[in-house]
């Protein structure tokens, strides 16, 4: 199962060093992550997001959230995803692992990772207003085939999880649930 390093050890726990986040922000993330196991099953995704915001107290604008992660705009061309659940922890680690270990043909189709640590990941900010049009679904199918060709099962690949990079190419912005082909 991903994410696992070459020694066969899980890599969910990452070093928490950043050139983009302050030590205070890292400490706030660590405080939030330490609470995940205790509140995860007691709250809805909305409640978890509110609790996370109160714990983190970030100056950044929250631009989205789901069941497993909350996303902040760092106002510098990057976004910060923070886990809201154990699945969010795995998703962040998985995105970092995939980006740093995939074939170059796949790397061109996924949102680049700038930094990552336990429970958080910083990625390029990508325009995500993809219209629900036939042409977009055709591009999505081509992306799916590319991932499968390189041994990656693109679980949860949908228009809501893609966007366009600066070269106007469709890229996947949320690939935390992708997995490798079991051979």
DSSP character for 66? Answer: -
Please name the CATH architecture into which domain 23-124 falls. Answer: 2-Layer Sandwich (3.30)
The mean-pLDDT minimum among 1-10, 38-47, 152-161, 164-173 falls in 1-10
pLDDT tens per residue across span 81-115: 999 999 999 999 999 999 999 999 999 999 999 99
Residues 134, 36: Cα–Cα separation, whole Å: 40
Q: Is 154 left (phi over 0), alpha (psi -120 to 50) or beta?
A: beta
**Residue 40 has which token pair?**
């995860």
Residues 38, 43: Cα–Cα separation, whole Å: 10
Rg (CA), the chain: 16
- Give the pLDDT band of residue 6 (cuts 50, 70, 90): very low
Residue 1: is its pLDDT beyond 50?
no
The mean-pLDDT minimum among 36-40, 54-58, 109-113, 140-144 falls in 36-40
Phi then psi dihedrals of residue 108, to 5 deg: -70, -15
Mean pLDDT, residues 113-133 taken together: 90
Mean pLDDT, residues 13-21 taken together: 77
Residue 183: is its pLDDT beyond 80?
no
Mean pLDDT, residues 64-73 taken together: 92
Element (H, E) at 96: helix 86-101
Residue 40: is its pLDDT beyond 90?
no
What is the domain partition of the chain in residue ranges? 23-124, 134-180
Mean pLDDT, the chain, rounded, equals 87
pLDDT for position 14: 59
């Amino acid at each position: 199962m991903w994410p696992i390093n070459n020694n066969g050890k899980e890599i969910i726990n990452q070093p928490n060093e950043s050139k983009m986040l302050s030590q205070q922000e890292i400490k706030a993330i660590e405080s939030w992550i330490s609470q995940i196991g205790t509140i995860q099953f007691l709250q809805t995704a909305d409640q978890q997001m509110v609790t996370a915001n109160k714990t983190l107290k970030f100056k950044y604008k929250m631009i989205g959230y789901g069941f497993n992660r909350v996303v902040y705009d760092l106002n510098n061309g990057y976004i910060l995803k923070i886990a809201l659940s154990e699945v969010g922890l795995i998703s962040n680690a998985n995105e970092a692992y995939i980006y740093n270990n995939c074939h170059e043909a796949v790397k061109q189709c996924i949102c680049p990772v700038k930094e990552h640590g336990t429970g958080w990941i910083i990625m390029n900010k990508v325009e995500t207003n993809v219209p629900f049009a036939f042409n977009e679904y055709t591009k999505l199918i081509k992306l799916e085939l590319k991932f499968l060709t390189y041994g990656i099962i693109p679980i949860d690949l949908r228009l809501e999880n893609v966007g366009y990079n600066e070269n106007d190419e469709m890229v996947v912005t949320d690939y935390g649930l992708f997995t490798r082909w079991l051979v």
